[in-house]
Structure 1
């Protein structure tokens, strides 16, 4: 007998909730959950969301507003879980209240404003609520994006050979008054990094999923180039893997006699380290044609081919270009973005399994909170480096 759909409350009716969560919840694939309640500070916004469920042939959710609405959700025994899509700095107090009420929680990324706060939240859950069979996941859609998982599979093909180096570009034009910048929590942020944190953790999660040797240390510079995007709008970083990732160079020495005869005079040869570079900026000038919103380009150069992943607003493009004479197969795949849709489905199925006393499917166990603390740690390291090497694990360990 199939599990009954879980009952959820959706908290938040802002830009991102309307552009990504609402369409995903209305899809027929979301048959593992029913939205019982929509909460907002604005009753008209909640009503606008609710009527769209009815228009899509679904039961129209109830409306909950303000502090009283939070209490209604807490006291509603029919609601199994809450999906919180609010500015991340406002989420932790609500998350804790819902844990105390026995509700499962899917909360938006970043997990917290910094590593210290993120670890504290994870510790509180692990010590007080995990044993009560509550499910808590962080809604990092780049962790769930199927084409990112596909990129990791292609990169793991032995025919590609080792990663030599990589480059991640996330460059944005953000005018004063842009819809993503004009909200108070972004316009006057009380957290490190501004857009570099809130937007940057997406890209770091993508690297975590795709790279065989994820970042271990950074040397970087953080800047504020435009006063309307404080406290930082640009990061330039050299990203280093763990020392164990450094290997001997591939191939054989040259077959040219003249160079072989001179080999004894050569300086000590280098090693092969799969380092990368990152450019994050929300300070581009207004030049036509403007780059698409959310444009990210990741190039990973391997011994026998190159993998390119382009995230262009709603479209994902994945390409593998083989080296001449290699066994690598050319690939070009295009997909609509599906991360939010997938994370909602995986969360709902995890709650269903937990309610039924079953183990959660490990193949769907993404969005684990401790992984998203690591995402924040990479951004924090890049913000704090100021040209000095910062070890990411040491940064995390100092707050444990």
Structure 2
């Protein structure tokens, strides 16, 4: 088993990452938890089952000898860290952990913007010893959702030439939403607000299904808007996109529509259409329509287990769905949409 530490005590760390680590007892052993404040770190440890592991607690506020993040990273029995911290705090911690020789699974997005992501990936590729480079995977849990994986299989099964695609995500972030009431999300110091923090998931899902049909996004253009004043700086994107292979489609993302909620992602080919939402996949072909329903699952359990298996395999590679480069493409598409919106729907090129 690989000794692991969970870095971060926020909602997603408590509700998703912590149970995912505990659900992989044959692969992972929780050795420590860390949060910037002692209060939140203790609360995270207290959330563990009474009969579960008793990890050591680390924090940097208040400062206490032997209790900081630097002390945690010195431990030989911790070979990996799961980083689920606020977006702007992630890169520095990722670097510190990698320099300490720890394998890192870090939450999406890979960084707050393309510039920072490119610099971080270049640093990882060039500044660490090649012979003993720790693994670095980026946790985009949508790529491991059972419903999305099945939808990808359906896209491959029906085949045909892709003629169009559509992504529509409408939602409403209420004032009492647990994520909205996280201070760093409520007053974001990064581009896009919820469009970055939440929207990147849906871009990843679109790219996953386009990839199943041999397509890769290459151009985007969009208009952006703020429909709900408290969801600064923006909450809505209406965009169009083209693939490298010349297929056109549409992208709509909104977290500010109180009376419309839901996800509809479609890949349309000459042989049929596959429509995905987190709990349902519908396939339409000339033979008729089929539908498969899924109980909602975030995919975090699967992604943590996949990362743990990569550590155990010892090949020096993470799963292809967890590479920083893959997460970079998600971020680049989303940033392209945001920048296009600020520039009056100017077309933005996406590297492929």
TM-score relative to the length of structure 2: 0.89
Structural RMSD (CA): 2.1
Q: What is the match of residue 188 of structure 2?
A: 189
| Runs of 4+ more than 6 Å apart | none
In structure 2, relative to structure 1, the CA distance for the partners of 1:359 and 1:89 (3 Å cut) is closer
Q: Which has the larger radius of gyration?
A: 1
Q: What is the match of residue 336 of structure 2?
A: 381
Q: Does 1:345 align with 2:305?
A: yes
C-alpha separation between the residues in 1 aligned to 2:100 and 2:291? 48
Q: Is the 8 A contact 2:147 2:277 kept in 1?
A: no
Q: Does 1:371 align with 2:334?
A: no
C-alpha separation between the residues in 1 aligned to 2:182 and 2:296? 27
Q: Does 1:113 align with 2:112?
A: yes
Q: What is the match of residue 283 of structure 2?
A: 320
SS at match of 2:328: helix
C-alpha separation between the residues in 2 aligned to 1:387 and 1:365? 32
C-alpha separation between the residues in 2 aligned to 1:301 and 1:84? 37
Paired residues for 1:41-80 under 5 Å: 41-55=36-50, 57-66=51-60, 68-80=67-79
Deviation at 1:14, TM superposition (A): 0.9
Paired residues for 1:45-194 under 5 Å: 45-55=40-50, 57-66=51-60, 68-129=67-128, 131=130, 132-157=132-157, 159-194=158-193
Q: What is the match of residue 64 of structure 2?
A: none
Deviation at 1:118, TM superposition (A): 0.2
Q: What is the match of residue 32 of structure 1?
A: 27
C-alpha separation between the residues in 2 aligned to 1:14 and 1:278? 30
Q: What is the match of residue 306 of structure 1?
A: 273
SS at match of 1:330: strand
Q: What is the match of residue 217 of structure 2?
A: 215
- 1:108-155 per-position Cα deviation (integer Å, ceiling 9, x unaligned): 110111111101000000012261231001111112223322222211
Q: What is the match of residue 330 of structure 1?
A: 290
Q: Is the 8 A contact 1:220 1:382 kept in 2?
A: yes
C-alpha separation between the residues in 2 aligned to 1:60 and 1:233? 41
| Residue 224 of structure 1, aligned match among 212, 226, 242 | 226
Moved more, 108-117 or 338-347: 338-347
Provide structure 2 residue ranges, at least 5 long, that are not aligned to the other structure. 62-66
C-alpha separation between the residues in 2 aligned to 1:87 and 1:181? 13
SS at match of 2:73: helix
C-alpha separation between the residues in 2 aligned to 1:130 and 1:301? 45
Q: Is the 8 A contact 1:54 1:60 kept in 2?
A: no
TM-score relative to the length of structure 1: 0.79
- 1:155-192 per-position Cα deviation (integer Å, ceiling 9, x unaligned): 112x4422222211111112335321222211221111
C-alpha separation between the residues in 1 aligned to 2:141 and 2:207? 13
Deviation at 1:82, TM superposition (A): 0.7
Provide structure 1 residue ranges, at least 5 long, that are not aligned to the other structure. 247-273, 395-400
Matched positions, count: 340
